[in-house]
C-alpha cells in the first residue's frame, strides 16, 4: 500500500483545528505526513497541536488569516524556511453565513467569498511557487454540496464553493504541466460544529437531510480521511481537476418522499 503512503511528505491544512479539517489532518498524519496547521485563533491552535502531538504526528502551527495576502506570504515563507517545503495543501479554512439573499449585508457576502474562495486562491499560489520548482505538488480544495446545488440561506457560501470548484479545475489546467495535481473534495452533510445549528433534534432540516441522503445518516468526519489521503498520495498522480463528492449518495439522487423507506 506504499501507493498511499505520505511518509516524508509535509501537509498543510488551513483551519485544521477542528471539524472536517482536523479529521482530514488526522488521516494525513496516519498516512505518515508531517502536519502544518494554520488557524486565526491561538487557543484553538494550541489545543489542536496538543491533540495531534498526542496522536504521534509531527506537527507545527501558524496563526494567520488566509485572506491576508501579506501575512499569508510571510507565513508560507516562514514555514518553508523553518519546517520545510509544503508538498500537500488542503484548503479547508472556511466560513458560512446562513441568511436569505434579500436580507444579507453585502459585506457579509463579500467576507464569505473572501475566506472561502479568495483565501484558497492566495494559498494555492503561494505554495505552488515551490511546487513548480520541485515539479511536484498536491492541492486539495474543500468544496461542498453547494458547489453543485443551492438551498435557501446559503447564497454566499454556494457562490464561493461553486467558484472553488471552477478554481480547482482552472488551477489543475494551468499547473498539471508541473506535475501538480489540483483536486477537490465535496463533503455532503457532516456532523460538525459548523452544522450543529441545523442538526438539532426536532429541526425539520435534520430529518430532511437524513431522508435526502441515501446512506440515511449525517457524515462522520472520519469518512473523509480515505479520500484526502488518496488525493494527497501517488495514487492520484493522474487525477486532476476532479471534485470527489463524499456525500453518502446525495448527488446521485433526486431524493424520495418522506414516507418511502
115 binds ligand GCO (CB under 6 A): no
Q: Applying CB under 6 A, which part among 162-170, 173-181, 192-200, 215-223 lies near ligand GCO? A: 192-200
* String of DSSP letters for 70-130: HHHHHHHHHHHHHT----EEEE-------B-TTTS-HHHHHHHHIIIIIHHHHHHHHHHHH
The binding track of 73-92 with respect to ligand GCO, each residue x by CB under 6 A or -, is --------------------
Q: Three-state SS for 239?
A: coil
User: Measured from the CB of residue 150, what is the shortest distance to ligand GCO in angstroms?
Assistant: 10
User: Measured from the CB of residue 195, what is the shortest distance to ligand GCO in angstroms?
Assistant: 5
Of 179 and 206, nearer to ligand GCO (C-beta) is 206
Q: Give the one residue of 57, 175, 189, 230 binding ligand GCO; rule: CB under 6 A.
A: 189
Q: Give the one residue of 28, 45, 127, 146 binding ligand GCO; rule: CB under 6 A.
A: 146
Q: Give the one residue of 104, 198, 210, 246 binding ligand GCO; rule: CB under 6 A.
A: 198
**How many contiguous H segments (helices) and E segments (strands) does the chain have?**
9, 7
User: Measured from the CB of residue 97, what is the shortest distance to ligand GCO in angstroms?
Assistant: 10
187 binds ligand GCO (CB under 6 A): yes
**CA separation for the pair 58, 112 (Å, rounded):** 32
User: Measured from the CB of residue 194, what is the shortest distance to ligand GCO in angstroms?
Assistant: 5
**CA separation for the pair 239, 115 (Å, rounded):** 26
Residue 51, C-beta contacts closer than 8 angstroms, at least 6 positions apart: 22
Residues touching ligand GCO: how many (CB under 6 A)?
A: 14
* Chain residues 156-185 in contact with ligand GCO, contact rule CB under 6 A: 157
218 binds ligand GCO (CB under 6 A): no
**CA separation for the pair 23, 35 (Å, rounded):** 12
Q: How far is CA 16 from CA 74, 90, 127, 182, in A?
A: 19, 9, 17, 19
User: Measured from the CB of residue 189, what is the shortest distance to ligand GCO in angstroms?
Assistant: 5
Active site residue 57: no
Vertex 158: Cα angle to 66 and 42 (nearest 5): 30
Q: Give the one residue of 66, 112, 140, 154 binding ligand GCO; rule: CB under 6 A.
A: 154
Q: Which three cell numbers stand for residue 130?
A: 515551490
Vertex 53: Cα angle to 47 and 54 (nearest 5): 90
Chain center to CA of 65: 15
Of 194 and 206, nearer to ligand GCO (C-beta) is 194
**CA separation for the pair 197, 201 (Å, rounded):** 10
Residue in 52, 57, 62, 157 annotated catalytic: 157
Catalytic residue IDs: 157
Residues at the site binding ligand GCO, with contacts judged by CB under 6 A: 96, 98, 144-146, 151, 154, 157, 187-189, 194-195, 198
Amino acid at each position: 500500500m506504499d501507493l498511499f503512503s505520505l511518509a516524508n511528505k509535509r501537509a498543510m491544512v488551513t483551519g485544521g483545528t477542528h471539524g472536517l479539517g482536523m479529521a482530514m489532518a488526522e488521516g494525513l498524519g496516519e498516512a505518515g505526513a508531517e502536519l502544518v496547521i494554520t488557524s486565526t485563533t491561538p487557543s484553538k491552535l494550541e489545543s489542536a497541536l496538543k491533540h495531534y502531538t498526542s496522536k504521534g504526528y509531527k506537527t507545527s502551527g501558524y496563526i494567520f488569516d488566509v485572506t491576508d495576502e501579506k501575512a499569508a506570504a510571510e507565513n508560507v515563507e516562514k514555514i518553508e524556511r523553518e519546517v520545510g517545503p509544503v508538498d500537500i495543501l488542503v484548503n479547508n479554512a472556511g466560513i458560512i453565513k446562513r441568511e436569505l439573499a434579500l436580507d444579507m449585508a453585502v459585506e457579509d457576502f463579500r467576507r464569505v467569498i473572501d475566506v472561502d474562495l479568495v483565501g484558497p486562491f492566495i494559498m494555492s499560489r503561494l505554495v505552488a511557487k515551490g511546487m513548480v520548482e520541485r515539479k511536484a505538488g498536491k492541492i486539495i480544495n474543500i468544496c461542498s454540496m453547494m458547489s453543485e446545488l443551492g438551498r435557501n440561506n446559503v447564497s454566499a457560501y454556494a457562490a464561493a464553493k461553486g467558484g472553488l470548484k471552477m478554481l480547482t479545475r482552472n488551477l489543475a489546467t494551468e499547473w498539471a504541466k508541473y506535475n501538480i495535481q489540483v483536486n477537490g473534495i465535496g463533503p455532503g452533510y457532516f456532523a460538525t460544529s459548523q452544522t450543529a445549528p441545523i442538526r438539532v433534534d426536532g429541526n425539520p432540516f435534520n430529518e430532511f437531510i437524513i431522508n435526502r441522503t441515501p446512506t440515511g445518516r449525517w457524515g462522520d468526519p472520519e469518512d473523509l480521511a480515505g479520500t484526502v489521503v488518496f488525493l494527497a498520495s501517488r495514487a492520484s498522480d493522474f487525477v486532476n481537476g476532479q471534485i470527489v463528492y463524499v456525500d453518502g449518495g446525495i448527488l446521485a439522487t433526486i431524493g424520495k418522499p418522506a414516507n418511502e423507506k
